[in-house]
Structure 1
Amino acid sequence: MSDQSAATDDGSDTSIESTDASTDTDIDAGIGTDTDETTTDDSPHETPLQPPPLLTGEHLPQLRATLANATHLLVCLDFDGTLAPIVDEPDAAAPTTANETAVAGLVDAAPVTTAIVSGRSLADVRTRIDGPRIYAGNHGLELAWNETVAVHPVAHERAARLETVCEALETVLGPIPNVRIENKRLTGTVHVRTVPPAARPTVRRLTRTVVDRVGGDELEVSPGKRILEIGPTIDWGKGDAVDVITSTLPDGTVPLYIGDDVTDESAFRAIDADGISIRVGDEDPSTASFRVRSPAAVARVLDWLGTAGVELVGQRTQSLSGTELWNDDPRVGPIPERWPTPVANE
């Protein structure tokens, strides 16, 4: 998760010139300012990652061309740092009014499937943003599809071990001021945002030691921005959740993903050149196609998609027969078979 130091309490971006929501220039966005404790994707690449270009009106022809060739649009959105500004207390996080409104508009658009893909637990994130029928929680380890909920079986099996690790961390990290350990049932988060800077290296070191000793080879630690994520040692992340969702949609669907942290990089890679990927925040290296500055800028992107973007997609989808492509709701098909032996959510 990234800091949004240029955003005000209500989510407005004082460093970005406001424009009318119906204009193409709404998509313009600025650069973030807080680079403290930036982490980058550490997976191998042929060339070093570079910061993606700032998304501006100059990129509209490219976006229009991509959407004009689509039969359908999949919009996947992270929550913290994307729809909601980053706050010191995670329980206080809420989407900006502009983003809530924009998401609601996309949910109601016929040629669009909207999904929330978050590191928060499924139960948590579903209470914070309403409307979409697809939610992926715990970095893609649990999936809500209409009224069906499934959990990755390996994560389910290791939930007890995760609980033991979180309890050990409460004891070991307890003396350090302002550390918060969050047990999200399938993953855990150590929050260091309000920890004194001098103590943060100690928190990281002790966290890795506890996970190594108590979690063994079943659990691992992944870095984020002022957080440490603890989860099962399996090759599964947000990108896999996006792939699962995309697999149910018709050929020609254009996927779009917006996120702000290292854990979103697998989703950016899943989108690849076939879609549109946007990283929120400062000039961190990323595999995303573009970047915007803040949740306020995200709202302008979503507003543009909900008006001009949807009109472009609709030009092709109007000629398609929904009964040939979908089951039940035309924007949400059945839960896909690709999910690895799902178990019922408890």
Structure 2
Amino acid sequence: MPEKRVVPVIASLADFESKLSGYLDPNTPLALLLDYDGTLSGIADNPSSTFLTANMKKLLHELAAHPQIFMAIISGRGLRDVQSCLGIKGITYAGNHGLEIEIGDGTRHDYALPAELQRLYTTIVNELTEKLENNGAWVEDKKVSLTFHYRDVADDAAEQYKQAAKAIIESHGFRANQAHMAIEAKPPVNWNKGEAALLILKNQFGEDWAKKIKVIFAGDDTTDEDAMRLLQGTGISFRVSTDPNIETYADFRLARQPVVEDLMAWINNTHN
């Protein structure tokens, strides 16, 4: 059974080359599954303020165009939002933690929420907005999941806002997950980034995908752990975290967000 543990850290391009020598084979297809916020881009006070460095953008475009590399972005953002952030055509995007999936040719694989859950979701949005959208706190409505941001709330009130938001979300049966100075509300369905990752891999490579390809996943958040858990033993995953004691389903910890750029450079060097 997959288990969480403290894992080896990677802090530089040289670490990839020494600790993962031989994992990648330029002749074997690679599925590259990536989170966006906190992984490809640094965390910002407002989601609209995130950006890719010029070198990261260049590396991603080169990797996406490589004939042996299949790229998918699996994000908590809404689908169109994350597509606009990357601007890479022809790759697979999964938004809302995998509830919305669009492959490169435009085919959709969305998880259909029951009408009752859609009604409850609207109730949660309205209640959070009316009661807690003040003093710097705000609600990011992504239509099937939401994020309650409290980063800009005064330090002495942040915990109060966090707990109040969790209480509202959970009172309507939704799941409240901790993010970076935010609470994410997700519908109570058996679907997450891990299930989305498996669906994407099966659609692209068939049921026996694990025998045909190499897989790399990278993410920085608790919601990314769902993918790390389901991929443990069949791919290599990386958890971005500055915490040396964090327990994770990933195989390696990336010491800080800029090391993700080294990860992309290592893959690019191996395949060229």
Residue 157 of structure 2: aligned partner: 199
CA shift for structure 1 position 62: 4.9
Deviations 1:276-318 (A, max 9, x none): 111112123222111223342211210220122x25xxxxxxx
Deviations 1:2-27 (A, max 9, x none): xxxxxxxxxxxxxxxxxxxxxxxxxx
Residue 278 of structure 1: aligned partner: 238
Q: Which of the residues 97, 102, 115 maps onto 1:144?
A: 102
- In structure 2, C-alpha distance between the alignment counterparts of 1:304 and 1:210, rounded to whole Å: 44
- In structure 2, C-alpha distance between the alignment counterparts of 1:52 and 1:227, rounded to whole Å: 28
CA RMSD of aligned residues (A): 2.2
Q: Which of the residues 184, 199, 202 maps onto 1:229?
A: 184
CA shift for structure 1 position 70: 6.8
Q: What letter is aligned with 1:279?
A: R
Q: TM-score, normalised by structure 2?
A: 0.88
Q: What letter is aligned with 1:241?
A: A
1:20-169 mapped onto 2 (5 Å cutoff):
49-56=5-12, 57-68=14-25, 71-131=28-88, 132-146=90-104, 147-154=106-113, 158-169=117-128
Relative distance call for 1:96 and 1:191 in structure 2 (3 A) is same
Relative distance call for 1:63 and 1:268 in structure 2 (3 A) is same
Residue 260 of structure 1: aligned partner: 220
Structure exhibiting the larger radius of gyration computed from Cα positions: 1
**Count of residues paired in the alignment:** 262
Q: What letter is aligned with 1:229?
A: E
Q: Which runs of 4+ in 1 moved over 6 A?
A: none
- In structure 1, C-alpha distance between the alignment counterparts of 2:110 and 2:44, rounded to whole Å: 28
- In structure 2, C-alpha distance between the alignment counterparts of 1:272 and 1:100, rounded to whole Å: 28
Aligned 8 A contact 1:94 1:128 in 2: yes
Match of 2:233, SS state, is: helix
Percent identity between matched residues is 27
Aligned 8 A contact 1:223 1:229 in 2: yes
- In structure 2, C-alpha distance between the alignment counterparts of 1:155 and 1:64, rounded to whole Å: 47
Match of 1:98, SS state, is: helix
Residue 292 of structure 1: aligned partner: 254
Residue 245 of structure 1: aligned partner: 200
Deviations 1:309-340 (A, max 9, x none): x25xxxxxxxxxxxxxxxxxxxxxxxxxxxxx
- In structure 2, C-alpha distance between the alignment counterparts of 1:124 and 1:69, rounded to whole Å: 32
Relative distance call for 1:156 and 1:100 in structure 2 (3 A) is farther
Deviations 1:130-175 (A, max 9, x none): 2252001001111011211232013676233212211111111134
CA shift for structure 1 position 61: 4.9
Aligned 8 A contact 2:17 2:266 in 1: no
CA shift for structure 1 position 55: 4.8
Match of 2:38, SS state, is: coil
- In structure 1, C-alpha distance between the alignment counterparts of 2:201 and 2:19, rounded to whole Å: 22
Q: Answer yes or no: is 1:301 the counterpart of 2:272.
A: no
Structure 2 stretches of 5 or more lacking a match? none
Q: What letter is aligned with 1:304?
A: W
- In structure 2, C-alpha distance between the alignment counterparts of 1:205 and 1:243, rounded to whole Å: 33
Q: What letter is aligned with 1:232?
A: P
Q: TM-score, normalised by structure 1?
A: 0.70
CA shift for structure 1 position 246: 1.4
- In structure 1, C-alpha distance between the alignment counterparts of 2:102 and 2:81, rounded to whole Å: 12
- In structure 1, C-alpha distance between the alignment counterparts of 2:213 and 2:126, rounded to whole Å: 44
Deviations 1:258-292 (A, max 9, x none): 11111111111122122211111212322211122
CA shift for structure 1 position 51: 4.7
Structure 1 stretches of 5 or more lacking a match? 1-43, 312-346
